[in-house]
Homo-oligomer: A and B are copies of this chain.
Amino acid sequence: MSDLTHFNEEGRARMVDISDKEITKRTARAISSVEVNEEIYTKIRAGQIGKGDVLQVAQIAGIMAAKNTADIIPMCHPLPLSGVDVAFDWIVKEQTYTLKIEAAVKTTGRTGVEMEALTCASATALTVYDMCKAVDKGMVIGPTYLKEKTGGKSGDFSRESNDR
């Protein structure tokens, strides 16, 4: 049965013991997004074509955040990540400009990398906001969610999309 396993007997938080879990290959993919206005969309695109690149800074921020996940999330186990990748896609519909972010993380370890993928996607989105906030502070980040995970005893997880 599922349970909030981060809580110990006295109701206080602990980093759960994973010593007896097997070392296996594990992957996770997380999605986030930033909805921007037309001016920001146009400027990021121009920057991407030229030399400046909002997405590049954001991507590097995401990768570094993935490595620091155990510092940011208190009960996360430190994990030696073996690969991190961030991909972008623009979804332009009528007057809305949405930058889709997909973060993929791999490890060979005793626990999964869901938090690393979610933290990577979040830091990437936050950095896009930071790079563009002088133009408009009305950008909206997310929804942010886990798209897929593989490996580990709890089995694989996958969701089609987050249609809202």
**What is the distance, in angstroms, from A162's C-beta to the closest C-beta of chain B?**
6
Copies in the complex: 6
Complex contact A56–B54 (CB within 8 A): no
Q: How far is the CB of A120 from chain B (nearest CB, A)?
A: 10
Chain B residue nearest to A146 in the complex (CB): B137
Q: Size class of A's contact patch?
A: 35 or more
Lowest 7 CB-CB distances: which A-B pairs, in order?
Answer: A142-B142, A11-B51, A17-B83, A11-B52, A7-B52, A141-B144, A15-B84
Residues of A whose CB lies within 8 Å of any CB of B are 2-8, 10-19, 25, 32, 39, 43-44, 47-48, 50-57, 59-61, 63-68, 70-88, 106-110, 114-115, 118-119, 122-123, 125-127, 129-146, 149, 154, 157, 159, 162, 164
